[in-house]
Chains A and B, each alone.
Chain A
């Protein structure tokens, strides 16, 4: 429903063809034409039907031309009924989209500058890429912290995106460990083969769920005590039941595969190595909640995971495990994949909805909550892959058996992303209650100079703990009591040679760059916080007034920001100050 006004710029044939192909692959006829010369369909309904194809269309333009040109925007605007100013506003929201002509023809080499890569020396990697003639873009965490420093190659001229490290064979540190639950198929089943997945117990849970019926599944999930593994730890059973209770409107299951919390890579490995499990558990969620529409929103820097998930969807659909009467459960369910384009904030569930719907990835105020007003304003169950994977055991062995692992208030196992100065960085699965010290030992102990300085728990939005916390049991309740968090499962170790001021200033810069800009406390607060820390770094000290200012800024960000990004933007900074990791440290 717009008064589309297009400037004079026109798309190149290649740009138009790229957009057309992207839309056709999603079942959209890209051709703009009246039905006859005297009849034309437009209006609100058409606009609503098309808007959410904006992100895929912009990806197509970026990939084709290396940027999103005025002509390209106009083409997309006309085809999708999106005003050019809005399409531009959306394009400029994302790190992976450029709206100025590139100075180079080739691919863009994204090098991560966040904590794990910072202490692993990302600048050496960047220098070597430049020396080889590559165009380097320094950016935020790429979700490959276990193999820092991380590199992601964004293709242009139609070349696909690519992560060089994906070419190496994958190895799970705990391979062969009989106690693995969520990770038990990894390295065992072939992620590109449905037969292999089935041979390793795949789709037994969905069939069982079909026999149990939605109500029994909801009961089991509630009884299991499963809670969200993205950081907020909301009870999954409550969420699913709330969606199931909604009637009369289309409903959705969204897999939040936008993990972007610096230090986090667990979902990437799950999706790359066990994609069918994500698809199966989403289907179970659809069955339980009565939702027929499944969506995977995956961060744009995960090309291998995207390809494997797409392969799994295609294979499942061909085998009747998706689509009408999926797997003979009597429930219709299908899944589509939408790629993000480089925005940490889109991991926030309501920002994710906006992004998927073709708007700027700005969080919505809550209430209302996604269970009633989620994707397209409709009831939505949104979970990340790790959370979803737990459902397999809950269905197959029952809630009681599930609860034999972990603690009373934190049942089950937890995936943890170990990075930084540990002997064997990588993805680990342990039962809740394992101590931090035991976990670090499992990962080969502290590397570097061997002297632990601090551990960043939960990522940039989490907090630092010191060596005195090695006895901390890793449960929701114990970490909360200790004033820290498991968050998304980040456990990043620093040895005493690491410059924590550099690390903390970078964390502050990360929030400054990733704030969506919508609300004042976060938009300005994140900038002022970073400025204050830069000032501290330059001076080598922090005056009492500036120290107090950091707390004052933190307070308004926590109290008055719209979403979790603002709420947590000062968390790591304040913990570093409290631990004396910065400011009071001897100037270097």
Chain B
């Protein structure tokens, strides 16, 4: 968003918001403690709109749930934008001073009428209007989203469509209002901050920028490649093209988690060499040529992680790693030594200090400060900087602190790549359950009393039409493959839509069904929108 990638607000601000748009996020289950902050906001009188194809457990807390059709987020956001402009509820001073491209945006959204959006999204026009007015007139408003926005073929367009709304109303860059993507993994924010993005060094510094590269080269003592690398989806394309023959996978389980997973497994199996560094013998590790047993990052080693509010916090070892497992730093250092470079045995603190000497937004975060505080939010540019509760305050500065005004983006409604058809008439979308996590390698380890397995949620009316009973085992097929699943009748899901979690790949290989159409800019696959069909299983022959 206008530069560095991170949520613009703090959790505490959500507690004081007047209006909350929870968009494509089931935070109640996927980010339960963040949702506690939302609940405090609701207790303090916030009005919440939940925008989600499913009436999720989060949506049940909302004043209004808007059950849009999968993949129509841009239609909805642009219609809100048009309505805000037409009702005169935008902030002309802020737009004039702090943004650019408004005229083009306004002209573009002119065709996104409420009635047209209602038709596209399935949500009544009056509700869209109400939400637009509530958001625009709120003193403090937050837009929160998760993978319902980003696991689409047009993920980036989805995100900037929401940013447009904040720019239109001035709901960004000041305390209480903001835009917050909720991170799905405990350090996905920190990974990006540290440069685990194909085109960035730590601190979101561009690898293609010669000056930046020179700075890093001076400290690293080696020449650095200025050509952006590949993100995961491109890597699989490169494997397919035969350009990528070796893969070193650290703490990821693509053989279960990729969309169109059977295809991904085929590609992984075809590599010359696959090295996996993990704490589990995952399905990917089972395919590997070499497995490097790692220690549990958060309970067996020193380090930091960064949360969705940009809070850098310390992790600490509580128990020793088992058997031959070693710390990630040791493994990587040892690997370097075998490749002929000696990095010595740097401590996590030494590595941190090197990093913060290079990344301005981390410079003020000494190990000691991190140790003593409950975490520090970046940017934190000096040791007397308390850190930043929110981002983009410069938008409200008289001189914009010398930056360019924030750009509006023109985005086009584009439905999911995979259209429904007579052959595959139902929409499948995916998500998390409260007690489980991703492919279940961690969360499978404890006895949850509320674990029900991966079932296919369908609307009772659809089930009745198909002659399917609650709990019946059925065959679910997409253009990519078929899996057997149990059906669960779920009145909170609209007709035509189905839903499943993907936590038990050994039982239900749900990602066999999902679509690997992906966003060229984010590299995220369209997990949220596949087309499927449900067939009854043939009854077993009597006496079998």
Binding site for B on A (CB under 8 A): 1-4, 34-46
Contacts and interface: CB of A to CB of B under 8 A. Distances in A.
B69 to A, nearest CB: 8
B406 interface: no
Contacts, number: 61
A44 B494 CA distance: 23
B123 interface: yes
A41 B49 CA distance: 10
B122 A3 contact: no
A37 B496 CA distance: 11
Given A1-B42, A36-B124, A41 B60 contact: no
B66 interface: yes
B124 A44 contact: no
Contact of B124 (A4, A39, A43, A45): A39
Given A38-B494, A39-B124, A43-B42, A3 B67 contact: no
B123 A39 contact: yes
B65 A42 contact: yes
A3 B123 contact: no
20 contacts: A1-B42, A2-B61, A3-B28, A3-B61, A36-B124, A37-B494, A38-B68, A38-B121, A38-B122, A39-B67, A39-B123, A39-B124, A41-B63, A42-B61, A42-B63, A42-B65, A43-B48, A43-B64, A44-B42, A46-B63
Contacts of B63: 41-46
A375 to B, nearest CB: 19
A561 to B, nearest CB: 29
Nearest to A44: B42
A37 B495 contact: yes
Contacts of B62: 42-43
A44 B43 contact: yes
Nearest to A36: B124
Given A1-B61, A44-B63, A35 B124 contact: yes
A41 B64 contact: yes
Contact of B64 (A1, A3, A37, A39): A39
Contacts of B427: none
A40 B67 contact: yes
A42 B55 CA distance: 11
A156 B417 CA distance: 61
A41 B48 CA distance: 10
A391 B26 CA distance: 57
Nearest to B459: A37
B127 interface: yes
B420 to A, nearest CB: 17
Contacts of A2: 60-61
Interface in B27-86: 28, 39, 42-43, 45, 47-48, 55, 57, 59-68
A577 to B, nearest CB: 49
- The 4 A-B pairs at the shortest CB distance, nearest first, are namely A43-B63, A38-B67, A40-B65, A38-B122
Contacts of B57: 3
A425 B176 CA distance: 67
A42 to B, nearest CB: 6
B494 A42 contact: no
A38 B124 contact: yes
Given A3-B60, A43-B62, A43-B63, A38 B123 contact: yes
Contacts of A38: 66-68, 121-124, 494
Given A42-B64, A43-B62, A46-B63, 4 more contacts: A35-B124, A37-B122, A38-B67, A45-B47
Contacts of A34: 55
Interface of B: 28, 39, 42-43, 45, 47-48, 55, 57, 59-68, 121-124, 127, 494-495
Nearest to A46: B63
Contacts of B68: 38
A40 B62 CA distance: 9
Given A1-B39, A37-B67, A43 B123 contact: no
Contacts of A4: 60
Contacts of B59: 40
B428 to A, nearest CB: 18
Contacts of B28: 3
Contacts of B48: 43
Contacts of B123: 38-39
A278 to B, nearest CB: 36
Nearest to B28: A3
Nearest to B494: A37
Contacts of A36: 124
A1 B63 CA distance: 9
Q: Which of A2, A36, A38 has the most CB of B within 10 A?
A: A38
A359 B39 CA distance: 20
A441 B439 CA distance: 87
Contacts of A43: 42, 47-48, 61-64
A46 B59 CA distance: 14
Nearest to B64: A41
Nearest to A5: B57
A43 B48 CA distance: 8
A45 B45 CA distance: 9
Most chain A CB within a 10 A radius of its CB, from B48, B61, B123, B495: B61
A39 B125 CA distance: 11
B53 to A, nearest CB: 9
B382 to A, nearest CB: 42
A50 to B, nearest CB: 14
B57 to A, nearest CB: 6
Nearest to B118: A38
Contact of A40 (B39, B42, B64, B495): B64
A42 B22 CA distance: 14
Contacts of B124: 35-36, 38-39
Contacts of B60: 2-4, 42
A2 to B, nearest CB: 8
A39 B43 contact: no
A34 B48 CA distance: 17
A264 B48 CA distance: 49
Nearest to B123: A38
Nearest to A42: B60
Contacts of B66: 38-39
B65 to A, nearest CB: 4
Q: Which residue among A1, A3, A44 has the maximum number of chain B CB atoms within 10 Å of its CB?
A: A44
A44 B19 CA distance: 13
A39 B76 CA distance: 14
Contacts of B495: 37
A4 B28 CA distance: 13
B396 to A, nearest CB: 31
A46 B62 CA distance: 10
A483 to B, nearest CB: 47
A42 B122 CA distance: 19
B196 to A, nearest CB: 36
B43 to A, nearest CB: 7
A1, A4, A41, A43 — which one has the most chain B CB atoms within 10 A of its CB? A43
A564 to B, nearest CB: 30
Nearest to A43: B63
A45 B494 CA distance: 24
A4 B65 CA distance: 16
